[in-house]
């Protein structure tokens, strides 16, 4: 094999290495590849001109550049893979933190729902205390219900039962105030006739017979054909028999 043939084969082999070292790279790598192609062509011309010493020097230089280029590409690939891994780690971290926040919010909502009873449940609890004869506790329960739900459909009932608690305890003045609030704020409520009837009863117990008769008479006038109107008639008849 002649020297020229050997160098030609060497150049051809180096060209193959150079031209296949960076497949699928970015634009910057393509530019380097084009430059190397030009330099390979130059080497071929030198080989034809028997510039073997200069040819050998340039081949060594090209080999070093190919190694550096390959190393740069590997570094770029490693950096790209690292960036992807970092992004993935950040995503997983954010996803875990978001999941924790959502779980915490759900637990808070559940705890809040568990500690805030339904208004009807609050009312029934106070009414059960009344039926059990726990009058102070029942009063507190109805007062709390009214403070929290003044416009609830059961508010008139709660106000009425506050009057009943005081009536049972024979605190007739306090009972009058409670029944008066039913008539002042819930005049059309179902408990309004009973509140007016019990107003007459309280006045009777306080020996205010004129006020008692007036209240009892109003029951029949304002709420005729009701059980409260019939009870008012009975009490009026009793008062008449007693001379009141």
- Domain identity same for 126 and 227: yes
- Domain identity same for 139 and 68: no
pLDDT-derived band of residue 104, with 50, 70 and 90 as boundaries?
low
According to DSSP H, which parts of 116-191 are helical?
119-131, 135-148, 155-168, 172-185
The verdict on residue 10 lying in a domain is yes
The verdict on residue 92 lying in a domain is no
According to DSSP H, which parts of the chain are helical?
3-20, 27-48, 52-115, 119-131, 135-148, 155-168, 172-185, 192-205, 209-222, 227-242
The verdict on residue 27 lying in a domain is yes
Burial class, 136, CB count within 10 angstroms (exposed 0-12 / middle 13-18 / buried 19+)? exposed
- Domain identity same for 63 and 150: no
Residue 166: give its domain's CATH number.
Answer: 1.25.40.10
Number of domains in the chain: 2
- Domain identity same for 123 and 215: yes
Helices 155-168 and 135-148, axial angle in degrees (round to 10): 150
Select from 86, 111, 146 the last residue of a domain.
Answer: 86
Residue 29: per-residue pLDDT: 52
- Domain identity same for 151 and 202: yes
- Residue-wise pLDDT for 10-33, tens only, equals 555 555 554 454 445 445 555 666
Report how far residue 178's alpha carbon sits from residue 156's, in angstroms, rounded to the nearest whole number: 10
The verdict on residue 107 lying in a domain is no
- Domain identity same for 78 and 133: no
Residue 136: per-residue pLDDT: 96
Helices 119-131 and 135-148, axial angle in degrees (round to 10): 160
The verdict on residue 102 lying in a domain is no
- Domain identity same for 124 and 176: yes
The verdict on residue 64 lying in a domain is yes
In the predicted model, what is the mean pLDDT of residues 173-191? 94
Select from 33, 66, 86 the last residue of a domain.
Answer: 86
Lookup: tokens for 70 = 């390959």
- Domain identity same for 125 and 229: yes
Is the model's pTM score more than 0.85? Answer: no
Task: Determine the structural domain holding residue 8 and report its residue range.
Answer: 3-86
In the predicted model, what is the mean pLDDT of residues 54-72? 68
Residue 210: per-residue pLDDT: 97
Contacts of 168 (CB under 8 A, 6+ apart): 135
Report how far residue 145's alpha carbon sits from residue 119's, in angstroms, rounded to the nearest whole number: 7
Select from 86, 105, 136 the last residue of a domain.
Answer: 86
Residue 22: per-residue pLDDT: 47
Average pLDDT over the chain, rounded to whole?
A: 79
Lookup: tokens for 200 = 């007459």
pLDDT for residue 71 is more than 80: no
Lowest mean pLDDT among 61-65, 84-88, 133-137, 203-207: 84-88
- Domain identity same for 144 and 187: yes
The verdict on residue 131 lying in a domain is yes
The verdict on residue 186 lying in a domain is yes
| Of 175, 169, 162, 165, nearest in space to 201 by CA | 175
- Domain identity same for 154 and 236: yes
Burial class, 11, CB count within 10 angstroms (exposed 0-12 / middle 13-18 / buried 19+)? buried
């Amino acid at each position: 094999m002649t020297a020229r043939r050997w160098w030609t084969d060497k150049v051809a082999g180096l060209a193959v290495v150079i031209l296949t070292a960076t497949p699928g790279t970015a634009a910057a790598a393509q530019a380097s590849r084009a430059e190397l192609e030009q330099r390979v062509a130059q080497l071929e011309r030198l080989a034809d001109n028997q510039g073997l010493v200069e040819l050998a020097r340039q081949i060594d230089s090209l080999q070093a550049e190919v190694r550096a280029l390959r190393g740069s590409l590997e570094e770029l690939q490693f950096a790209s893979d690292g960036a992807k891994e970092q992004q993935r780690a950040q995503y997983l971290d954010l996803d875990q933190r978001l999941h924790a926040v959502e779980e915490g919010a759900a637990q808070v909502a559940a705890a809040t729902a568990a500690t805030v009873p339904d208004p009807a449940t609050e009312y029934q609890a106070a009414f059960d205390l009344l039926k059990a004869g726990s009058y102070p506790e029942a009063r507190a329960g109805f007062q709390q219900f009214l403070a929290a739900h003044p416009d609830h459909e059961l508010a008139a009932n709660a106000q009425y039962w506050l009057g009943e608690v005081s009536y049972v305890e024979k605190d007739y003045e306090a009972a009058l105030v409670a029944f008066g609030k039913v008539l002042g704020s819930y005049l059309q409520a179902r408990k309004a006739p009973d509140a007016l009837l019990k107003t007459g009863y309280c006045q009777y117990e306080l020996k205010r017979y004129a006020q008692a008769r007036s209240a009892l008479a109003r029951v029949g006038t304002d709420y005729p054909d009701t059980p409260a109107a019939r009870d008012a008639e009975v009490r009026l008849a009793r008062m008449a028999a007693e001379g009141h």
